[in-house]
């Protein structure tokens, strides 16, 4: 069969599609992928032009999203029956080239890897209250193991004082975001078919113990009384890392995705409340008061949603190119 030089290979398309299922801040999809040679290897790049400049000036969340995409690439390579050979931050001079993934020895995927790969398109971010089904202790323990396997720590908050402290910090950040005109504009720009769909933010952001992002400005229209807040909050957890460099953010993203996919395989989804981690003073309070000095990377709630909504992704033609690397947009 002739190889068409100007079209990406099928394996590269498969990997790019898998990578694109990853979560990203407000669906900004701050990545692009480069196929090296014809199906010889695959690069994961951060697309700094798609970073959220006000909420993510240092690019930490952008790299976490790319780390989640990288985990999907690894699982997609396993699904094809190869061992992924991952070279993290391979070029000092290009810190946006986050990883190079090659095809190693042939080895059939394990049952667990196949179920992680199957969960990629089924995983979705949830906003608002969860349904009444509990998340079992057994699953929580497995999720801690999944994070640990990637070098991160999933700290499940089982003491109500810690949940209350975290809720206070989330709510403080969220209140500050709502009166910050420029941040509100940045967020509003992310709502719509190419960002977070309107249907995915219909729940009032103040219904759960941890305030959600007010994508649609609902809090300006009506206030949720205190007694109605908190039901359906689910299990609250913080994903953290021992260190806080670019490589740790990439590691956090891979750990996050591994946790999310394992949970999704058991019909458990996550909601995110990363507002306090976007303000250095509040992030420091989370680090000292909740995560015992480890660096908090993601704040999440886990539970069983009554319904799930998917969000669109950019077409593969926009995110996948063949080497050499395209000019930045
Ligand atoms: C680093 C990071 C931070 C995020 N922060 C929030 C958040 O604070 N609130 C929220 O509702 N979703 C948050 N999300 C989830 C994204 O909005 C979501 O992944 C994106 O809209 C794509 O939807 P999907 O996850 O359902 O595929 C975050 C995702 C990432 C990777």
Mutate to test the pocket of ligand 1, among 72, 274, 312, 313 (most ligand atoms within 8 A of CB): 274
Mutate to test the pocket of ligand 1, among 259, 272, 277 (most ligand atoms within 8 A of CB): 272
Of residues 63, 37, 69, the one with CA closest to residue 257:
69
Tell me which residue has its CA closest to atom 28 in ligand 1: 25
- pLDDT (tens place) for every residue of the chain, 329 residues total: 444 456 888 999 999 999 999 999 999 999 999 998 876 899 999 999 999 999 999 999 999 999 999 999 999 999 999 999 999 999 999 999 999 999 999 999 999 999 999 999 999 999 999 999 999 999 999 999 999 999 999 999 999 999 999 999 999 999 999 999 999 999 999 999 989 999 999 899 999 999 999 999 999 999 998 888 899 999 999 999 999 999 999 999 999 999 999 999 999 999 999 999 999 999 999 999 999 999 999 999 999 999 888 899 999 999 999 876 544 44
Q: Is the CB of 213 under 6 A from ligand 1?
A: yes
Q: Is the CB of 196 under 6 A from ligand 1?
A: yes
String of DSSP letters for 306-328? SS--------HHHHEEESSPPPP
Residue 60 C-alpha to ligand 1 middle, in angstroms?
Answer: 14
Token code pair at residue 190 = 């992310």
Instruction: Kindly list the structural domains of the chain, giving each domain's residue range(s) and its CATH number in brackets, ordered by start.
Output: 10-123+311-322 (3.40.109.10), 137-303 (3.40.109.10)
Quick check: 107 and 117 in contact, CB under 8 A? no
Tell me which residue has its CA closest to atom 20 in ligand 1: 27
H helix runs in the chain, sequence order: 10-20, 60-79, 111-119, 137-149, 160-178, 181-188, 218-221, 246-264, 280-289, 316-319
Atom of ligand 1 at shortest distance to CA of 21? 27
Distances (CA, A) of 318 to 20, 48, 99, 247, 329: 11, 15, 19, 26, 11
Q: Is the CB of 124 under 6 A from ligand 1?
A: yes
Q: Is the CB of 24 under 6 A from ligand 1?
A: yes
């Amino acid at each position: 069969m002739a190889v068409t030089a100007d079209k990406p290979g099928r394996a590269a398309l498969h990997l790019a599609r898998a990578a694109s299922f990853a979560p990203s801040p407000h669906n900004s999809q701050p990545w692009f992928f480069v196929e090296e040679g014809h199906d010889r290897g695959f690069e994961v790049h951060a697309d700094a032009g798609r970073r959220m400049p006000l909420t993510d000036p240092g690019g930490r969340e952008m790299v976490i999203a790319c780390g989640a995409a990288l985990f999907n690439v690894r699982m997609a390579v396993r699904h094809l029956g190869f061992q992924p050979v991952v070279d993290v931050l391979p070029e000092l001079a290009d810190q946006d080239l986050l990883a190079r993934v090659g095809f190693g020895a042939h080895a059939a995927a394990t049952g667990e890897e196949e179920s992680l790969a199957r969960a990629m398109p089924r995983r979705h971010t949830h906003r608002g209250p969860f349904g009444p089904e509990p998340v079992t202790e057994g699953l929580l323990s497995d999720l801690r193991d999944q994070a640990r396997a990637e070098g991160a720590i999933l700290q499940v908050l089982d003491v109500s004082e810690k949940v209350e402290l975290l809720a206070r910090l989330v709510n403080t950040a969220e209140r500050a975001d709502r009166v910050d005109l420029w941040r509100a504009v940045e967020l509003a720009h992310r709502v719509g078919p190419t960002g977070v769909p309107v249907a995915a933010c219909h729940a009032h952001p103040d219904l759960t113990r941890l305030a959600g992002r007010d994508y649609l400005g609902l809090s300006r229209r009506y206030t949720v009384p205190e007694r109605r807040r908190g039901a359906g909050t689910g299990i609250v957890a913080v994903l953290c890392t021992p260190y806080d460099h670019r490589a740790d953010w990439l590691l956090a993203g891979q750990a996050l995705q591994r946790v999310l996919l394992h949970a999704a395989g058991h019909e458990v989804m996550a909601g995110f409340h990363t507002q306090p981690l976007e303000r250095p003073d509040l992030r420091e309070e989370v680090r000292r008061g909740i995560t015992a000095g480890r660096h908090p990377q993601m704040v999440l709630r886990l539970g069983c949603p009554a319904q799930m909504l998917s969000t669109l992704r950019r077409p593969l033609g926009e995110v996948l190119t063949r080497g050499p690397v395209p000019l930045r947009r």
